[in-house]
Amino acid sequence: MNDRKKITEDKDAESASKELPAFLSKPDGAPVYHGFPLVEETRTDGWCYGAITEFLEEGGCDTGDGYVQAPDGSRAGLVWAVEDYETMILLEPDEKRWGVYEISFPKVIYTIDDLVLCL
């Protein structure tokens, strides 16, 4: 598994700069994690995972960074690893997001179906 994570990018997201990707140059009023794609296959009851780091890697993926978007569009950050531990708060909620949380996944991610199962 790869220790260096590839950043994912929403190529359709608007950037405030012609030189920078959207996640580095968010337009005014854009939500936190703007420029990182939602993974529509994970959408359940209006909730959807967004990927910050690539989760489909040759040999599988056992750690990652992402976020979750609620049905109302609000978001929380997620840091995940294949481990067995209680969810931890890494950053308390603020006006931009309802916090950043470290969560454990029960298995290595090889496919979108694995990601859906872990979520």
DSSP code per residue over 43-83 = -BTTBEEEESB----TT-B-EEEEEEE-TTS-EEEEEEEES
Tell me, what amino acid is at 93?
P
Residue 21 to residue 96: CA distance in whole angstroms: 20
Cβ neighbors of 90 (< 8 A, separation 6 or more) are 77, 79, 99, 100, 101, 102
How confident is the model at residue 10, as a pLDDT? 96
How confident is the model at residue 26, as a pLDDT? 95
| pTM, two decimal places | 0.91
How confident is the model at residue 41, as a pLDDT? 97
Helix (H, G, I), strand (E, B) or coil at 29: coil
How confident is the model at residue 4, as a pLDDT? 79
Average pLDDT, 10 consecutive residues per value, the chain (119 residues) = 81 95 95 97 97 95 97 97 95 95 97 95
| Cβ count near 59 (within 10 Å) | 9
Burial class of residue 8 in the structure, from the number of CB atoms within 10 Å of its CB (0-12 exposed, 13-18 middle, 19+ buried): buried
